[in-house]
Structure 1
């Protein structure tokens, strides 16, 4: 049965007292009134309760006045010993000026084995916490406590618990719940102490290491000083290097500002390392170093001719540049308006024609330094402009690194594979190249890492690309484009004889006395074993021939002669044979010409008709423009044909082999018209005729691109007559004379002119059938 007492109540504003605690309290007027009331009316007992701002307290402890006297601080106070927990009831009357209330004593919870186990776990946690605080005397006191309720209420002394948590304990009469609360809080505190201890140990270890390193560095400096190997201070060394370096005025000012920052920065500061790296980069750049160009135009042309066969356009352009620069130097016009006389050329052509190697030849002809910058696959704008210095591991861009590598401000910089530059979330490198390749801007090029102007106006930039279509228009407009459209068969034989063969002989450890390759074998290799614009595949075949020859020489002595008759023994059967006659032997097939990233090529277009409606089926991975050309071709024949087109009123299927290769563009329009006309008339297309050109609904033949590459492909394929648009006639000036001698090139303005010649006559068709 519960016991209710009538006691004066003392509210404590900043403390929570739990059962078993002994607390000193300073006596003020209100406290004195409660103590006096307790001594008079309740046998020195009073009720201690926390003062709450939001509500009336519901629980307190019954306390006994132990002693009244002077506290250690000098003030007068009272010492109270807290007893049992009590639930606060309603107010009652009593003697004195204190507030009297009813206090219902809380009955103790019966102790079970589970409670004892829970209390033992809590005791272990408390002891672990006290051990980390080295409170050994308190540990002895805790170990002597065996009563679970008393043990739980000892949390009132815990400094890591807030008044709110202690009040929650006071208001939890159930012993099991009380033990669960203090156990959870003790676990958290122990985990906190473990983390804090680990951090403290790590910090102490780091400080010890830094102190040890500092002492060792000081000792090392002292030893070097005693040995006479003392080094100057890094900061003083940088200031002297900057003042002695031949830097532009603005660059010198920026460098001295950074040296000032370095002098003020701590040696342990990461900024000091960044500044040193920046200063090293700036001091390594050849700000005022330039090589002298050769002035002998004839010698420069000789160097270019010795390294490369053909390519007259780019050779002429380099010689012109050199001649103009020599005249500018004679008249003191090396720099006009702050800009040098550099050049920006784009060498566009299929693989294997010598674009990359031409850069080295240009540098030799100009007597300049050469550096190559590979741009294939670059997708980060920072690769061109550099990183901001605030980034960890920041570096200048590839252009600045190329200038530093060259060691002069006027090298020949080859920007290789500029058409392979991509863009993604890291920016567009092609956009960053706009300033680099603009002669009106690149005299003040600013790299993000350097943040000072770098003059690129005297650099000769040579950009290489396989396809001009993938170069952004703004970047393409800034470059002077020189097309390298490929080599003729005679060119390939000359290149093989003067360059490729000797190089492969050296690699195979052979000499001309060991192996001889005749011109007829070289012509057969170039004509029937390779069908490319460049000479890479031809060089691979020459290497294969020489490997086979070296193998034979290991077993049989004597020189080996490779001719057209025994070439198959070295490289096998020919890979390419004339197929135009076979493909166009049936009506509905015509031979067109196309340009790919690998150069020019022939393109066969096949048409067939089957019963059905007037539908048109297109296959062969055709792009939208090529599909439109097919519809235009069919519409033209249905509207303008002067022959029987009954077969075109059926279901038409137009196919362009090879089906695995994507194709697009309007230049196959006339070829499609010819194939459909051949199908409608039953007259095959002449096997030696090729054609190219865009067609309109009225049959007009519009100009197209890549005439030179297409004519080279026609020559390689063995065609005799080629139709091109009339408005492309000026492009024939760029075609080699030997190609024009072998081909009958016919400019036409109307597709009807092509049909009149290209289709076999009826008798010939009948005879062929």
Structure 2
């Protein structure tokens, strides 16, 4: 049991004193009292213990006073040497004002082999760290230390250890435990130092490289100026592509590709044509808005108002755009990403006849979304490179129209209108429609690769709108990637509203007229729609209004007063009506039936004539009919012959040379919807009974008389209304299509879904006596 010593104690916050350390201590009142008491005591010792905030210290260091003096600044200081680790006991009384305590010296254990091994390992780590710092004098001191405990206590000088760690060393009596702690701490610090040194070396090397490159570029600029490659002012801003690339806001992969090309440009000679190609490529890449997007409008009410203000009707398209906005607004509210990613864009194809507002609708969609608008005309495009771009190996290579549209828009999420997508051709140069497959596929266009750029371009947030007149001309694979929205034309009421609210004000403004100077009555507008135009759209309607405004302007210039154009005045302004109801005239003789068809110009009325002449029995077809309509005629004749008795037809009337003609022979005609009309015409011809003048029909027929469904019901019913028909027969399986037909059209027409062609014939033919009277 070691003997307890009574010594004065001094608590210090820092430094933490370990045995063997020689440290200065500033002498305040408490420190001076402890030093004076130690010098006056028999043992000449004092205890240096750490001051703790949370507890009373249990260990300290017995120290002797080496010297007492003053600092250059005038402050008093005492230099003490730590000698032994001591355990603090209870307080004691002693002379002076110092605080006295009873302490027990901690005995040093005997050195074991494990202690020597730990000491050697710690010394190796310590020397490695000192050598990295080039502290050679300290290395010599450490090499001379042989006592493991003394070696461990030298850590009191270590700047990389915290006060908490040093206190832990002070309170650890066992030398092995102290060495293990120091080995772990020193190894961690050495590893951290190596990493920091490596980072500092990399930064220094990078800085040197940048400085070297800067100096070389300055020299290069001076050389190029001497060679006359730069202007007199030495302006190299347009040619310093490296600086432009580094300053541009580019995605990382695009930046890497651009820097590779800059490297090629810098290595190429000025006489090499490759330099011009690289400059053009870099200009194209730098001009693209890689990280620029416009913020979508989330005001659904305002968007709907914009669409309604620009276009009358077209509810399907307006609903689709508002739904798109609603989804994006909700994703924004939920904190979900709305830019980029697979399938976030919208791809719609607006199909319908000319003049219904497909192209102008794209601009309205862009305004409603708050996006930039770009129109890409695809009519007549036959080269695949127009879509995907030319490969850079070709002279005069350019990026494709899609990339150019993005650059023209100035943002990565514009509204791109692909106009006339059904008129894209194909030849030996490739198939542009096939190149559009990746562009318009929401699951693929986030990585669209243009041949010229050879970089991935994210088109997933672009709203693509395509327009087409004939759906059948769009390749099936391409149509499958788009949402089909059909614009089937306008009713008479729609045309009146469009003319009154949109067309007439626009034409008045173009003619520099006001509403007070020229007025067109609703009756006149309705007559123009009925007798002067028979189109699904309003393009010709607007031309006629422009003609009327020009004539009105001429009259005003001659001194006429305010002009009111009424129904009776149309002949003077527009000439005689071009269209009059002709169904009664055409069907006045037996053998003529009124059918309904769909063309690239929309729905239309198609008259089919049947006649018979003496000669060898057979079938003659005229009128530029396609293969499908030729087969329909053969099926119709076979059906009438096989069901002659049921239809009231004398078989002898069919044992002649049958001639079926579809007028307007210079216009090619084809399609699977003329079967029932041909059957009706043949029965009318064979029975001598006329087809009712107010009846129109559409549908395909089978050999047993079943009526098959067809397409374009809405367009055909609109055409029937324009032609003045009142009863229309359609296939029973097309009854669901009536949901898309405007209510005013259904009110004006008696639409009868049918399943058997015999029923159509029975209801379409005039009574026998009436036919005879008409013939007489």
Q: TM-score, normalised by structure 2?
A: 0.70
Once the 2 structures are TM-superposed, how far is the Cα of residue 764 of structure 1 from its aligned partner? 1.3
Once the 2 structures are TM-superposed, how far is the Cα of residue 628 of structure 1 from its aligned partner? 0.7
Once the 2 structures are TM-superposed, how far is the Cα of residue 325 of structure 1 from its aligned partner? 1.2
CA distance in 2, matches of 1:607, 1:644: 14
Q: Pick from 255, 263, 266 the counterpart of residue 266 of structure 2.
A: 263
Whether 1:684 aligns to 2:686 is no
Match for residue 20 of structure 1? none
Q: 2:389, 2:401 within 8 Å by CA — same for their partners in 1?
A: yes
Whether 1:240 aligns to 2:236 is no
Q: 1:334, 1:341 within 8 Å by CA — same for their partners in 2?
A: no
CA distance in 2, matches of 1:480, 1:219: 59
CA spacing shift, 1:534–1:666, aligned 2, 3 Å: same
Whether 1:711 aligns to 2:717 is yes
Q: 2:343, 2:443 within 8 Å by CA — same for their partners in 1?
A: no
Once the 2 structures are TM-superposed, how far is the Cα of residue 338 of structure 1 from its aligned partner? 3.1
Match for residue 457 of structure 1? 460
Once the 2 structures are TM-superposed, how far is the Cα of residue 222 of structure 1 from its aligned partner? 8.9
CA spacing shift, 1:281–1:751, aligned 2, 3 Å: same
CA spacing shift, 1:678–1:267, aligned 2, 3 Å: same
CA distance in 2, matches of 1:460, 1:337: 12
Whether 1:429 aligns to 2:449 is no
CA distance in 1, matches of 2:475, 2:231: 62
Whether 1:415 aligns to 2:421 is no
Once the 2 structures are TM-superposed, how far is the Cα of residue 277 of structure 1 from its aligned partner? 1.2
Whether 1:546 aligns to 2:549 is yes
Once the 2 structures are TM-superposed, how far is the Cα of residue 258 of structure 1 from its aligned partner? 0.9
CA spacing shift, 1:764–1:392, aligned 2, 3 Å: same
Q: 1:334, 1:340 within 8 Å by CA — same for their partners in 2?
A: no
Match for residue 733 of structure 1? 739
Where 1:463 maps in the other structure, the secondary structure is strand
CA spacing shift, 1:301–1:222, aligned 2, 3 Å: closer
Q: 1:379, 1:426 within 8 Å by CA — same for their partners in 2?
A: yes
Once the 2 structures are TM-superposed, how far is the Cα of residue 250 of structure 1 from its aligned partner? 0.8
CA distance in 2, matches of 1:338, 1:266: 42
Q: Pick from 345, 352, 376 the counterpart of residue 342 of structure 1.
A: 345
Where 2:519 maps in the other structure, the secondary structure is strand
Cα deviation code 1:383-429 (max 9, x no counterpart):
11111111111111100000000000000000000111111111111
Where 1:567 maps in the other structure, the secondary structure is helix
Where 1:753 maps in the other structure, the secondary structure is helix
- 1:601-616 counterparts in 2 under 5 A? 601-616=604-619
Where 2:348 maps in the other structure, the secondary structure is strand
Q: Pick from 404, 408, 415 the counterpart of residue 405 of structure 1.
A: 408
Match for residue 358 of structure 1? 361
CA spacing shift, 1:479–1:340, aligned 2, 3 Å: closer
CA distance in 2, matches of 1:233, 1:367: 35
CA distance in 2, matches of 1:434, 1:357: 24
Q: 2:230, 2:236 within 8 Å by CA — same for their partners in 1?
A: no
Where 1:733 maps in the other structure, the secondary structure is helix
Q: 2:388, 2:451 within 8 Å by CA — same for their partners in 1?
A: yes
Once the 2 structures are TM-superposed, how far is the Cα of residue 584 of structure 1 from its aligned partner? 0.5
Whether 1:326 aligns to 2:329 is yes
CA spacing shift, 1:222–1:410, aligned 2, 3 Å: closer
Whether 1:591 aligns to 2:594 is yes
CA distance in 2, matches of 1:215, 1:240: 18
- 1:160-559 counterparts in 2 under 5 A? 218=226, 224=232, 229-232=233-236, 237-335=240-338, 338-339=341-342, 341-559=344-562
Q: 1:349, 1:467 within 8 Å by CA — same for their partners in 2?
A: yes
- 1:55-94 counterparts in 2 under 5 A? none
Q: 1:605, 1:671 within 8 Å by CA — same for their partners in 2?
A: yes
CA spacing shift, 1:518–1:389, aligned 2, 3 Å: same
Where 2:546 maps in the other structure, the secondary structure is helix
- 1:7-156 counterparts in 2 under 5 A? none
Where 2:579 maps in the other structure, the secondary structure is coil
Whether 1:767 aligns to 2:770 is no
Match for residue 177 of structure 2? none
Once the 2 structures are TM-superposed, how far is the Cα of residue 216 of structure 1 from its aligned partner? 11
Where 2:567 maps in the other structure, the secondary structure is coil
CA distance in 1, matches of 2:689, 2:309: 51
Unaligned runs of 5+ in 1: 1-213
Cα deviation code 1:649-670 (max 9, x no counterpart):
2111111011111101120100
How many residues in Structure 1 have an aligned counterpart in Structure 2?
551
Where 1:566 maps in the other structure, the secondary structure is helix
CA spacing shift, 1:430–1:353, aligned 2, 3 Å: same
Once the 2 structures are TM-superposed, how far is the Cα of residue 521 of structure 1 from its aligned partner? 0.4
Match for residue 644 of structure 1? 649
Once the 2 structures are TM-superposed, how far is the Cα of residue 230 of structure 1 from its aligned partner? 2.5
Where 2:696 maps in the other structure, the secondary structure is strand
CA spacing shift, 1:216–1:753, aligned 2, 3 Å: same
Once the 2 structures are TM-superposed, how far is the Cα of residue 330 of structure 1 from its aligned partner? 1.7
Q: 2:649, 2:683 within 8 Å by CA — same for their partners in 1?
A: no
Q: 1:348, 1:484 within 8 Å by CA — same for their partners in 2?
A: yes
Where 2:478 maps in the other structure, the secondary structure is helix
Once the 2 structures are TM-superposed, how far is the Cα of residue 767 of structure 1 from its aligned partner? 2.1
Match for residue 619 of structure 1? 622
Q: 1:325, 1:341 within 8 Å by CA — same for their partners in 2?
A: no
Q: 1:413, 1:460 within 8 Å by CA — same for their partners in 2?
A: yes
Once the 2 structures are TM-superposed, how far is the Cα of residue 724 of structure 1 from its aligned partner? 0.2
CA distance in 2, matches of 1:676, 1:737: 34
CA distance in 2, matches of 1:260, 1:217: 20
CA distance in 1, matches of 2:338, 2:460: 9
Q: 2:695, 2:725 within 8 Å by CA — same for their partners in 1?
A: yes
Once the 2 structures are TM-superposed, how far is the Cα of residue 543 of structure 1 from its aligned partner? 0.7
Match for residue 156 of structure 1? none
Where 1:469 maps in the other structure, the secondary structure is helix
CA distance in 2, matches of 1:223, 1:428: 46
Once the 2 structures are TM-superposed, how far is the Cα of residue 547 of structure 1 from its aligned partner? 1.1
Where 1:590 maps in the other structure, the secondary structure is strand
Cα deviation code 1:235-269 (max 9, x no counterpart):
6x211221121111111111111111112111222
Where 1:482 maps in the other structure, the secondary structure is strand
CA RMSD, aligned part only? 1.7
Q: 2:413, 2:459 within 8 Å by CA — same for their partners in 1?
A: yes
CA distance in 2, matches of 1:676, 1:221: 85
Q: 1:221, 1:230 within 8 Å by CA — same for their partners in 2?
A: no
CA spacing shift, 1:389–1:695, aligned 2, 3 Å: same
Match for residue 748 of structure 2? 742
Whether 1:655 aligns to 2:661 is yes
CA distance in 2, matches of 1:374, 1:231: 40
Once the 2 structures are TM-superposed, how far is the Cα of residue 611 of structure 1 from its aligned partner? 1.6
Where 1:600 maps in the other structure, the secondary structure is strand
Once the 2 structures are TM-superposed, how far is the Cα of residue 220 of structure 1 from its aligned partner? 5.5
Q: Pick from 650, 668, 672 the counterpart of residue 666 of structure 1.
A: 672
CA distance in 2, matches of 1:223, 1:415: 43
Q: 2:340, 2:446 within 8 Å by CA — same for their partners in 1?
A: no
CA spacing shift, 1:473–1:569, aligned 2, 3 Å: same
Q: 1:325, 1:334 within 8 Å by CA — same for their partners in 2?
A: no
